[in-house]
Amino acid sequence: MKEHLPILIDDKNTDLWHQLSELYEIELTPSTEQNYSTHVSGNIATISMYENELSAASFTHELLHLYLKSKNVKIVEDFHNAVENSEKINALFSDGLKEHVTTCLEHELMRPIFVQMGYEKRFFTNDFNVPKMTKKMLDILLKRYQHNDAYDREAIDFYIGTFFAMKSCINTSFNYHKYYIAFQNLDNELYTLLSEFWLDWKTYNFEDDADHYDKILRYFIEDMNGWISEKVLINKLPNNL
């Protein structure tokens, strides 16, 4: 896989590549899926790449995930642990949702660096041109979300995941304003606590060793526990589709 380095490393990411290569033994492997991913174990970092779509921008995206690790940003592990330490929240958050939320959080830290390095923001993710919310999706959510005093767990999972997806979307051709209003009207308390968490996260400066996200995460978990404490969750509400 090293033979691909001339394609993956360009004048924009070469400094970052050399910086990380001094900290990690970086191994390149082919991906069986049409995407890139990074796994870190100790000082060994494995970057999996889709060989049919080799791209310096996509490679840089993975290097930036690794860069966060090098700066001791462990939000993936810390978020998973915080959620799993609360039985009720863990019952609400699917594994896919945990992964999605932490990806959005990391992307919020990475994106400014990616653009500052000289890459176009449209190359930051491969779903740049995909709307994160549509009227059809909203209609289904509104129908499924709540029935009397019971809440559809999958609908809440979708609500939370889509909220973060919209917040993370950098394609300005998509206007989510009406969807934010609909989310707020559907569940104002949940919308407010998610918004506060996102705004707090945006204040976190991982380049400042004195700054940390522990309080941001702790307040979010406390707010989620308060919101979910009196909720009755059902895996699938009757006649909700």
For 15-34, what is each residue's pLDDT tens digit? 999 999 999 999 999 888 87
pLDDT at 3: 74
Q: What is the pLDDT of residues 108-139, one digit of tens each?
A: 999 999 999 999 999 999 999 999 999 999 99
Burial class (CB within 10 angstroms; exposed 0-12, middle 13-18, buried 19+) of 179? buried
What's the confidence (pLDDT) of residue 135? 97
Per DSSP, the three-state class of 238 is coil
What's the rounded Cα separation, in Å, for the pair 95 and 87?
A: 14
Tell me the pTM. Answer: 0.93
Mean pLDDT in residue range 51-57: 89
User: What pLDDT, on a 0 to 100 scale, did the predictor assign at position 34?
Assistant: 77
What is the structure's pLDDT at 32?
81
pLDDT, mean of residues 189-218: 97
Please enumerate in sequence order all residues whose Cβ is within 8 A of that of 68, keeping only pairs 6 or more positions apart, or say none. Answer: 106, 109, 110, 206
- Decide if pLDDT at 233 tops 70: yes
54 SS3 class? coil
Could you give the domains of the chain? 2-70 (3.30.160), 75-234 (no CATH)
Q: Are 66 and 40 in contact (CB under 8 A)?
A: yes
Contact 167, 199 (CB under 8 A): no
Spatial separation of the C-alpha atoms in residues 103 and 125, rounded to whole Å = 11
Specify the higher pLDDT residue, 34 or 94.
Answer: 94
More confident residue, 66 or 1: 66
Chain Cα centroid distance, residue 197:
13
Residue 237 has pLDDT above 90, yes or no: no
Residue 12 to residue 27: CA distance in whole angstroms: 20
> Who wins on pLDDT, 240 or 98?
98
Angle at 158 between CA 154 and CA 163, to 5 degrees: 155
* pLDDT, averaged across the chain: 93
**CA 195, CA 224: separation in Å to the nearest integer?**
12
Report which of 34, 8, 51, 52 is spatially closest to residue 126, judged by C-alpha positions. Answer: 34
pLDDT the model gives residue 2:
67
How many beta carbons lie within 10 A of that of residue 108, not counting itself? 17
